[in-house]
Structure 1
């Protein structure tokens, strides 16, 4: 039984301070300069405020859930500035309606590995697990505060929890927060739509720390944020449709990545209508990246799979500045397969089409002799791949790409 239900049925009163509000304006975030694929529904004004008490070092989850219970349906749940809150219990916040979580203080998740592995929320995708799940209708999270995942204690442990789980949210804004030390990805955006992420500060290198992973979600905006992490800055997983990414500063990552797709035989993976605009990428393995598995079985880097089907379509990367990246642009239909003969014999069942990469500038790390890699399993697998205004150089001055079964105009192939 979830804690929220226990509170609702037990009559437990922890003394959340409730204040009635008048003349409130609904919280909003301007999206720009590129517009979202569809308008983001407006929030409604909130009419009451509930201040979360702190247990002074104990588990504050009951205090948080009591405040949420009191202010759900038109209120603001406020975490006081300067106060440190501790969360030691998995929180199901999946049925919120018209509520703001105003995080002015700091929320730290406990280091109880055994508890979280047993009670964290499982999401049936790549062993994804979250500390909490936030969902419902018209939910905003903001305030300038911090979420700390205590990621250092998770080294060598698996599965590891994702710091922020947006699960089944229909309309929302997540803004002005610091996220640090996530044990796994910083954000999982699953089964959600019409959500804006803006003005976030992300830091942590505890393994597979993607900034965002979008999965089975539509009309998502990720903008105006700084990310210093150890894996993909943003990764578009299967079912990512109508996603806008703009104004990001990424460091230490694996790039802005589509995929990987086609890993699981019998599954159809679709990613389409993606706009990535005005992104800076430094000290990273890649800038822009599209990766699909071959039609056969491949393995590498602790991963294995291949044989799934699907498509990547209508993807634009525009105005990307790179510095000390190993590969400015990488497109591959042979992810985790180094033997091109095997890849050609079992070409990817995930097609890549209508891709535009334009307005790239900067320098690579020099780790590779080329500035990018374009690898298609067959000429038929990649269609209408356009590269324009690519002004990226290796330290020695080369602007050449490594090319297989694809030779787009506008770049030279080594």
Structure 2
């Protein structure tokens, strides 16, 4: 099989995933290199029949054809979106009934630009007003093929500039999936986050190519590569992300996560959080390894962001603070940066610019057992002379934070860190 030139150039390797998935059986854990998942990923059963999705090819909605093919080939089959064909999706697709099935996307799948319909009918998820065009769930589901999912984002970028309270759909919704492989795939022009993974386990993302910028003066905003929520034992690897927000974000109640071999450009870094946004909620992120990352033209490299104990406002459509929880056993090992504002940023004052108020109402969420090691590169100089910042709202909620072999300087050669209420080991 072939892989995109971008991925091949970035990593100098081929990802034999499609071929593996088409074989009688394959092991997800074996393709996780060089590090292995926190827990073994379940294998994928053989697929014994194939269904092809019919398309109109003239912009009419193909949603019914997709559901028909899935129902025919569910439980042991493969559903193919043929190469050189364009499919239009104009209806929200609930695909949480899938079991032992592959979706081989070779063609171009584009979601319609009917913003009124999608705001009314996209799937309302349970975190930060997240909505999705579709949701895939079930057991042993693989989505691959090197084709394209296109969110038709430009109309949304322009609409959001007029009204920041609109509900912009997320391009890919993985909701309630146990055992699955996503990729290789090309993801383009998402209205908001590219991928939302919720209430899922044992999922591998391998060979995802993300890109999509605005062609107008209205930026494509909040285009996170991945947002993980209430999920465990997820692997994200061998992917290229060109976006305008977090490359990967670990939202509340995420455990046993491996992220490796990523090329991130234009992002806000690989982020734990934001956490502690909602009073009365307990947010936990624990056991995360982030390994071998290239980070370019970003606000941050490694980032942990926690809301303070009192209320704060990040923007018109993002406020919070006062939640409790724990961030524990997080390791960032191996990151090369170029033109990044902060190589490392840890804050318990997320959304609160007034540090006096942040210290008066310290975070209720503890951060402990954090490791940053083997960083190298040059910052943007925007925070000169600092190359990093670790700001805790109280020493009582920050402990055992270690940094070693940090070879990062600003363009002027400075290498300072700002540290507040924490002893950096």
TM-score by length of 2: 0.90
Hey, what's the Cα distance between the residues in 2 that align with 1:252 and 1:56? 34
Please point out which of 211, 216, 238 is paired with 2:230.
Answer: 216
Among 71, 83, 86, which residue is 1:84 paired with? 86
> Whole-Å Cα distance in 2 between the matches of residues 90 and 332 of structure 1?
38
Distance in 1 between residues matched to 2:359 and 2:267, nearest whole Å: 29
Q: 2:352 aligns with which of 331, 337, 341?
A: 337
Which residue of structure 2 lines up, in the alignment, with residue 164 of structure 1? 172
2:146 corresponds to which of 144, 153, 170: 144
Shift of 1:298: 1.5
**Equivalent-residue separation in structure 2 for 1:299 and 1:167 (angstroms):** 28
Matched, 1:358 2:357: no
CA contact (8 A) 1:270 1:312 kept: yes
Report the alpha carbon displacement of residue 27 of structure 1 after superposing the two structures with TM. Answer: 4.8
Q: Which runs of no fewer than 5 residues in structure 2 stay unpaired?
A: 1-21, 161-165, 214-219
Deviations 1:166-210 (A, max 9, x none): 000000000110000000100000000000000110012421100
Alpha-carbon distance in structure 1 between the residues aligned to 2:311 and 2:65? 50
- Going from structure 1 to structure 2, the CA distance change for 1:24 and 1:293 (only over 3 Å counts) comes to closer
CA contact (8 A) 1:287 1:322 kept: yes
> Equivalent residues in 2 for 1:23-34 (5 A)?
24-29=23-28, 30-34=31-35
Query: Structure 1 length as normaliser, TM-score?
Result: 0.92
Structure of greater Rg:
1
Alpha carbons 1:333, 1:377 under 8 Å: kept: yes
Q: What SS does the aligned partner of 2:207 have? A: strand
- The one of 316, 322, 331 equivalent to 2:337 is 322
Aligned 8 A contact 1:289 1:329 in 2: yes
> Residues 255-404 of structure 1: matches in 2 within 5 Å?
255-302=269-316, 303-369=318-384, 370-404=386-420
Instruction: Report if the CA contact (8 A) 2:135-2:174 is conserved.
Output: yes
Is the contact made by 2:27 and 2:42 (CA closer than 8 Å) also made in structure 1?
no
Is it true that 1:406 corresponds to 2:413 in the alignment? Answer: no
1:407: how far off? 3.3
Q: 2:180 aligned with 1:181, yes or no?
A: no
Residue 240 (str. 1) matches residue 254 (str. 2)? yes
Equivalent residues of 2:307, 2:351 under 8 A apart: yes
Structure 2 distance, partners of 1:112, 1:317, is 41
Residue matched to 1:202: 210
Q: Which runs of 4+ in 1 moved over 6 A?
A: none
| Distance in 2 between residues matched to 1:172 and 1:350, nearest whole Å | 32
Which digits, 9 at most, give the CA deviation of each residue in 1:76-122, with x for residues without a partner? 00111111111111111001000000001110000000011111100
**Distance in 2, Cα, partners of 1:216 & 1:344:** 29
Equivalent residue number for residue 52 of structure 1? 53
1:255, distance to aligned residue in structure 2 (A): 0.4
Match of 1:8 in 2: none
Q: CA deviation at 1:24?
A: 4.7
CA offset digits 1:315-353 (Å, max 9, x no partner) = 000000110001000001111222222111111000000
What is aligned with 2:68?
Answer: 66
Equivalent-residue separation in structure 1 for 2:330 and 2:305 (angstroms): 13
- Alignment deviations for residues 284-308 of structure 1 (CA, whole Å, 9 cap, x no partner): 0000000111111112333321111
CA distances 1:256-298 after superposition (whole Å, capped 9, x unpaired): 0000111111111111001100000000000000011111111
Q: Which moved more, 1:259-268 or 1:291-300?
A: 291-300
CA distance in 2: counterparts of 1:332 and 1:236, whole angstroms = 15
**Unmatched tracts of structure 1, length 5 or more:** 1-22, 410-414
RMSD: 1.1
Look up the match of 2:268. 254
The range that moved more, 303-312 or 350-359, is: 303-312
CA contact (8 A) 1:291 1:332 kept: yes
What corresponds to 1:3 in structure 2? none
User: Which is worse superposed, 218-227 or 154-163?
Assistant: 154-163
Deviation at 1:406, TM superposition (A): 1.6
